[in-house]
Amino acid sequence: SAVISQKPSRDICQRGTSLTIQCQVDSQVTMMFWYRQQPGQSLTLIATANQGSEATYESGFVIDKFPISRPNLTFSTLTVSNMSPEDSSIYLCSVDQGPQGNEQYFGPGTRLTVT
């Protein structure tokens, strides 16, 4: 499976500021996904990022709050804008791999705390 890294691994931010999370993959992948995992909860999809097109956002998530870039087939960023304590969460990227394309593998996650 692909080797996926994320930066930063964790951060503590002040409310009202923004943080950009980077996701790097060691091979070219078509689809990248961004998930949020709030403490003790399941994974919730934020958006799907396909290289060369606008990201597709899930209900409850908007581009102004979570802008995403996908400049090439190995890299994506997620920005959490104008943060509030409710944004404190783990943010994970994942990529679609495997011979039939469904298998998803996750990055190590970015633990964000907003004070």
Partner 1 sequence: GENVEQHPSTLSVQEGDSAVIKCTYSDSASNYFPWYKQELGKRPQLIIDIRSNVGEKKDQRIAVTLNKTAKHFSLHITETQPEDSAVYFCAASHQAGTALIFGKGTTLSVSS
Q: Applying CB under 8 A, does 81 fall inside the site for partner 1?
A: no
Size of the site for partner 1 (CB under 8 A): 24
Binding status of residue 96 toward partner 1 by CB under 8 A:
yes
Q: Between 17 and 102, name the residue whose CB sits nearer to partner 1.
A: 102
Nearer to partner 1, 67 or 109 (CB): 109
53 touching partner 1, by CB under 8 A: no
Residue 30 near partner 1 by CB under 8 A: yes
Position 108 contacts partner 1 (CB under 8 A)? yes
The residue type at 101 = G
Q: Which of 86, 92, 78, 81 is nearest to 115 (CA)?
A: 86
Residues near partner 1 (CB under 8 A) are: 1, 30-31, 33, 41-45, 48, 58, 92, 94, 96, 100-109
